[in-house]
A and B are shown apart, each in its own frame.
Chain A
Amino acid sequence: MSETVNQHTEVSYLEYKGRFKGLFAWIFSTDHKRIGLLYLYSMLVLFSVAALLGLAMKIELIAPGKTIMDAQTYNSFFTLHGITMIFLIVVPGLPAVFGNFFLPIMIGAKDVAFPKLNLLSWWIYIIGAFIALSAQFLGDGPPDTGWTFYAPYSFRTGTNMLPAVTGAFVLGFSSIATGINFIVTVHRMRAPGMTWMKMPLFPWALYGTSWIQVLATPIVGVTLLMIVLERTMQIGFFDPALGGDPILYQHLFWIYSHPAVYIMILPAMGVISEIIPTFARKTIFGYKAIVVSTLAIAFVGYFVWGHHMFTSGMSGTALYTFSILTFFVAIPSAIKIFNWVATLHKASIDIQTPFLWALSFLFVFMVGGLSGMVLGALSTNVHLHDTAFVVAHFHFIVFGGTGYAFFGAIHYWYPKMFGRMYDKSWANIGLAIFFTGFNILYLPMFYLGMTGMPRRYYDYVDEFHGPNIVSSLGALLMISGLIIIITNLVRSAKHGEPAEADPWKGKTLEWTVASPPSLENFEEIPTVTKHPYGYE
């Protein structure tokens, strides 16, 4: 891609000695790579907690009636699991970790446009996380509303709602600041010669995502603030008793939270668009179509929020408008899938761990996407709304989409980030166990939902017992796979074999710098003359 070859003579960002030492050298660092790792470590801790909460819920559901927790604890667990996973991991996840680390390097810049704002974003993220999680330990017991904080229950429940809502509100500022930073970085800091159509697809995906972050997040911020005001001052925005409308809350919440699904999935698609051509040793098929579909998803994704509200009591006109718009958003998503598959056609594929993650992504994402079509149709949605089917669809899309892409990304860029290679055999074993467990866990939930098992209940009738046992055993298997994957990655950061600068023979700019990169990435800013995926 670049004609400039960096000589890798500078000290790496991991060894660089700045103004501060020890922990302070990390938490006060404005280096985009260190900030990316700060997010990674924070999310690793939060993810472990949230995943264990999920496992506890599945153990509770292994048999009807009370197994290990009562109904109120179960309600709190799914609320905390949802808040942590959505607001603290999946929404910020890929942009905050890999966007921070790789966006500047992939566009040939030394850092993001506003490094101090970048560090502030991480601090706001940590403060927001503390506020949100404090809800579990303070006041009148953990919140039990689910991560959606639906009105009117969210301002009537006696549980400790305010810190959870305030935490989510604060986290929005982190998201907006990161979005602004990335938009300006892409506009102003691309290397000489890197025109828009020579920019790699991961930065393109981050660019589309950043616009959604900047434009949609303030809406949920204001909505959450309205909940706080409703609870403290009884104004009457959403409470019917005060003249408010609870459906207005759902509109406002999903105006943000549906585009937020694209905040989660667009960077994931960007990661897959990087991994596939590298291991197919082939130029990506339909580069421009992928770029246009990225922007189309970001745009159309704004107008489909109502499909979360088909049973809320919306008008008939709104119902079929949202249903039609929902089907439109499937088109650009399908374009991407066809492009990835076409890239693999007649390719010289090098089967490595990141590629296996990308393939697994294609499978689970398609299951998630197609089940989304079932939910996008009004007739079937009414039957399946608020059942286990929705939980299965959601996890296939969000965990199967963003989660698989996250693990794909870390296995792809790990040698660049840490300068060491993980144990590939253990990585593949971990993936095989995880993938098997994932499908055993979530596939039965499609069946359970179709046969009528509601979600968010700690108990069920005996007819649902069999599939629930299978699903719970799948959860145990999936967690075992996760433990292997994470242990392998953590251990390899110190004990792994030293990695080359370009272990996968990639063509984008990050593979032209040392592993791990130096503080300023490039000794000399590269001049870009070629297409990012010039394999032929």
Chain B
Amino acid sequence: MEKDQHTHIVKYKTYVYVLIALLFMTFVSVIVTEIDLGPYTVTMALLLASIKSLLVLLIFMHLKFDKKFYGIMVASVFLLLACVIVITFMDYLYR
């Protein structure tokens, strides 16, 4: 188990940049609700949320510096949830 453990120190500055990016996208996701995007409202909201969670996973949770295997596992889960969301909204699109 020991051999798998390694530390990666992320620069303080990077965390600040990510924080700013997260705050910016939160601001955008609020602003975007004012625009009528029709059926794409949900797509936009989910896209912004996905980018935000990706930043948290990659930088704050160190997925970027971890083994590729964990990346593949997380990507599979994202893909699964994406399929679930697409199938759900297919109902709304065609109703």
A interface residues with partner B (beta carbon < 8 Å): 188, 215, 247, 251, 255, 299, 302-303, 306, 313-318, 321
Contacts and interface: CB of A to CB of B under 8 A. Distances in A.
Main secondary structure of the interface of B (DSSP, over half): helix
Interface string B78-95: 001101100110111111
A397 B93 CA distance: 33
Contacts of B9: none
Interface string B55-95: 00000000000000000000001001101100110111111
A318 B84 contact: no
Given A188-B1, A255-B88, A303-B87, A314 B95 contact: yes
Contacts of B93: 315
B5 to A, nearest CB: 13
A315 B77 contact: no
B94 A318 contact: yes
Contacts of B88: 251, 255
A315 B91 contact: yes
Interface residues of B, number: 14
A318 B83 contact: no
B83 A303 contact: yes
Contacts of A188: 1
Nearest to B81: A215
A360 to B, nearest CB: 35
A148 B38 CA distance: 31
A251 B80 contact: no
Given A215-B77, A251-B88, A255-B88, A302 B83 contact: yes
Nearest to A309: B91
A215 B73 CA distance: 12
Given A188-B1, A215-B77, A255 B94 contact: no
A243 to B, nearest CB: 13
B80 A318 contact: no
A303 B83 CA distance: 8
A485 to B, nearest CB: 39
Interface in B1-37: 1
B91 A247 contact: yes
Nearest to B92: A315
B90 A302 contact: no
Contacts of A314: 91, 95
Given A188-B1, A215-B77, A303 B84 contact: yes
